[in-house]
Amino acid sequence: YKDLFSPTVVSCDSFAVISDNSTRDIQTATQFAKGFGCDEDSAANNMIVAVANNFSTSLWPVVSDSYNELNCPTSTEEEVLSLFGNDVDYLTQSYDDSIELINELLHMEEYNATICELQNPDYDESLDGPCTLFQTGFEYTGNYFQGTFLAPYTYAGYFADMWMLQYVSGLENWGFGKMDFPTLASLHSMHVQ
């Protein structure tokens, strides 16, 4: 693709990348354009990165699963919890081994992580022990594109996704160089499920 869209073949300003109206999506679209050799610092190679909701209110982003033009209600907390028997602990236990491996890779106990105090108002180190992803608690957010809630496996899934992105980007020391690809693929299932 890079050869096809190379600025020597086709001018970058002939194309536009449309992103959703979020910082992450705009940054991703900009980096995508740069990957084709279209650098924003060079006027001759400038691919347009347009934000969908800023220039046309009737443009529906095609690849955004959080866009809701019709203002349809999202799932309620009860509906989401019913997907796994209203048992948050069981859901977490389903991913125990993966979450524990991520705890170890992050050295959470060793570095006295602070995420538990920030995310779980019920966390008490004297009762719950050192902070690990298991003590991050459960919080319903209603944000479909974030899995509708925050829980130990969603935090672990963020790290698994980051390491997968490092791997597919060709980074040599992905995941701190501490696992093989089959392990990473297994961890990444938390993010995609």
pLDDT for position 10:
56
Give the per-residue SS3 of the chain.
CCCCCCCCCCCHHHCEEEECCCHHHHHHHHHHHHHCCCCCCCHHHCCEEEEHHHHCCCCCCCCCCCCCCCCCCCCCHHHHHHCCCCCHHHHHHCCHHHHHHHHHHHCCCCCCCCHHHHHCCCCCHHHHCCCCHHHCCCEECCCHHHCCEECHHHHHHHHHHHHHHHHHCCCCCHHHHCCCHHHHHHHHHHHHC
pLDDT for position 19:
73
Nearest partner of 37 among 13, 7, 4, 16, judged by Cα: 7
Burial class (CB in 10 A: 0-12, 13-18, 19+), 100: middle
pLDDT for position 85:
87
Say how far apart CA 117 and CA 131 lie, in whole Å: 8
pLDDT for position 132:
94
User: pLDDT tens digits for the chain (193 residues)?
Assistant: 445 445 455 566 666 777 766 777 778 877 777 776 666 555 545 666 776 655 555 555 444 455 555 666 777 888 888 888 888 888 889 899 999 999 999 999 888 788 999 999 999 999 999 999 999 999 888 776 666 788 898 899 999 999 998 998 888 899 999 999 999 999 998 877 6
**Other CB atoms within 10 A of residue 99 CB:** 26
pLDDT for position 175:
92
